[in-house]
Structure 1
Amino acid sequence: MFFNISPLDVVAIMLLAVIIFGPDKLPKLIQDASRMIRKLREFSDSAKEDIRKELGPEFKDFEFEDLNPKTFVRKNLLDNDSLGLKDIRSSFDLKDEVAAVREAVQEGGRTVRTAGGPASAAAANGADPLRKSEPLRPGERPPFDADAT
């Protein structure tokens, strides 16, 4: 509400106001500020009521906070699941697919397959591209594919 103003900041602002306006003018200034805030609230409430009245009876429970796009989406799409969005969201759960790929990579050992290397040629011949191929010899570097990096 007060933009994270600490009690020490409030005391500092009060002391600054007393120093700037003086102790004799400060009560009148506070009354004027509170009167202005009250008038602004009344003006805002009457404007909201006029807009609701002009929109008609079907919008009598209309809230202006709903005009915020985030609030609108949360209220109309995420809370109300008439469109089946929870099923769509759950279909994007990739944990099982990622686990299967991780296991396949771990079973592949230390070999690295490139896009045009022996694995793609074996796949074209109908062989399993994830089949474990021969491990690299000590000191041998894995194949390097400039297009893939």
Structure 2
Amino acid sequence: MFFGLTIEKLLLIGLVAGLLIGPERLPRYVETLTRFARRARDYVTTAKTRMKEEMGPDFDDVDWRTLDPRQYDPRRIIREALLDDAPVPTVRAAGVAAAVTSTSAFKPQSPSGAPFTAEDPPPFDNEAT
């Protein structure tokens, strides 16, 4: 199979193309198609060779199936992400969480050092953006 086409479908397409083009122009079109196929094959071969040269010995170690874009199903990716275990907190994150939840949390104070109250609210700048 070539891009989902079977031999029967390719023969049918060739027959219809032969009838539409006509027997006079068919050899010229076949020659053009053959030249195009050869150039495409040469291009792919050159690209593969160049890639091998630039990647060096690591080229053979690459698992090319993992880079196939057809495998990326958004539903599967989201499902796997949701089923993953929760990340383990690091030492630094645990320290920050402990500091935030401690009883000595930051409480805003007035310039005199006393905490703000309903009678002494914090200053408000109505021109601030």
Q: TM-score, normalised by structure 1?
A: 0.38
**Relative contact order (alpha carbons < 8 A, sep ≥ 6): 1 or 2 greater?**
1
Q: TM-score, normalised by structure 2?
A: 0.43
